[in-house]
Amino acid sequence: MNALGRHILVEFYDCSPELMNDVIHIENSMVAAAETAGATVINSTFHHFSPYGVSGVVVIQESHLAIHTWPEYGYAAVDLFTCGDSVDPWVSYSYLKEAFQSGHGSSMELRRGQLSLLKRNDFNLESLRDASAKTIEADGSITRDVWFTERDENIALSLKHTGNQLYKKDSEYQRVEVYETLAYGNMLTLDGMVMCTQKDEYVYHEMITHVPMFSNRSARRALVIGGGDGGTVRELLRHEQLEEVTLVEIDELVIEACKLHLPETAVAFDNPRLNLLVEDGIKYIKECADEHYDLIIVDSADPVGPGEGLFTAAFYSEVYRCLTKDGVMITQSESPRFNSAVFVEIYDTYKKIFGQDKVHCYLAAIPTYPTGTWSFSYSAKGNANPLVFDKEAAAAFSQSEGLKYYNEDMHMAAFALPNFVKELLNSNPENVTDEYSAEPTN
Q: How many C-beta atoms lie closer than 10 Å to residue 166's C-beta? A: 17
Cβ atoms within 10 Å of 100's Cβ, excluding its own = 25
User: Is 145 marked within a binding site?
Assistant: no
Long-range contacts of 166-171 (CB under 8 A, 24+ apart): 166/260, 166/261, 167/257, 167/260, 167/261, 169/253, 169/256, 169/257, 171/251, 171/252, 171/253
Residue 199 phi, psi dihedral angles, 5° rounding: -80, -35
What's the N-to-C CA distance of the chain in angstroms?
61
**CB-based contacts of 382, cutoff 8 Å, min separation 6:** 324, 325, 326, 327
Known catalytic residue: 47?
no
Please tell me whether 122 is known to bind a ligand: no
- 16 belongs to the catalytic site: no
Tell whether residue 61 is among the known ligand binding residues.
no
Consult the annotation and say whether 229 binds a ligand: yes
The reply to whether 106 sits in an annotated binding site is: no
Distance CA 76, CA 71 (A): 8
- Partnered with residue 8 across adjacent β-strands are 80, 109
Which residues lie closer than 8 Å to 182 by C-beta, 6 or more apart? 159, 160, 161, 162
Q: Which alpha helices (DSSP H) does 44-139 contain, by range?
A: 89-99
Q: Is 74 annotated as a binding residue?
A: no
Active-site annotation holder among 15, 83, 258, 361: 83
Q: In what order do the strands lie in the sheet with 41-48?
A: 104-114, 3-13, 75-83, 63-70, 54-60, 41-48, 143-151, 156-170, 175-181, 186-190, 193-197
Distance CA 377, CA 350 (A): 9
3-class secondary structure for 329-369? EEEECCCCCCCHHHHHHHHHHHHHHHCHHHEEEEEEECCCC
Active site residue 333: no
Contact 63, 83 (CB under 8 A): yes
* Rounded CA separation 178/197 (Å): 9
According to the annotation, is 300 in a ligand binding site? yes
CB 11 within 8 A of CB 97: no
Catalytic residue among 16, 25, 50, 68: 68
Among 29, 44, 63, 379, the active-site one is 63
Cα–Cα distance for residue pair 249/190, rounded to 1 Å: 14
Is 249 annotated among the ligand-binding residues? yes
Instruction: Choose the catalytic residue: 299, 333, 375, 377.
Output: 299
Residue 191 is assigned to a ligand binding site: no
Ligand-binding site membership of 130 (annotated) = no
What does each C-alpha distance from 151 to 48, 49, 197, 301, 338 come to in angstroms? 10, 7, 17, 16, 12
How many H-runs (helices) and E-runs (strands) does the chain carry?
12, 18
List binding-site positions for S-methyl-5'-thioadenosine: 174, 249, 280-281, 306
List binding-site positions for spermidine: 205, 229, 299-302
Positions marked active-site: 63, 68, 83, 299
List binding-site positions: 174, 205, 229, 249, 280-281, 299-302, 306
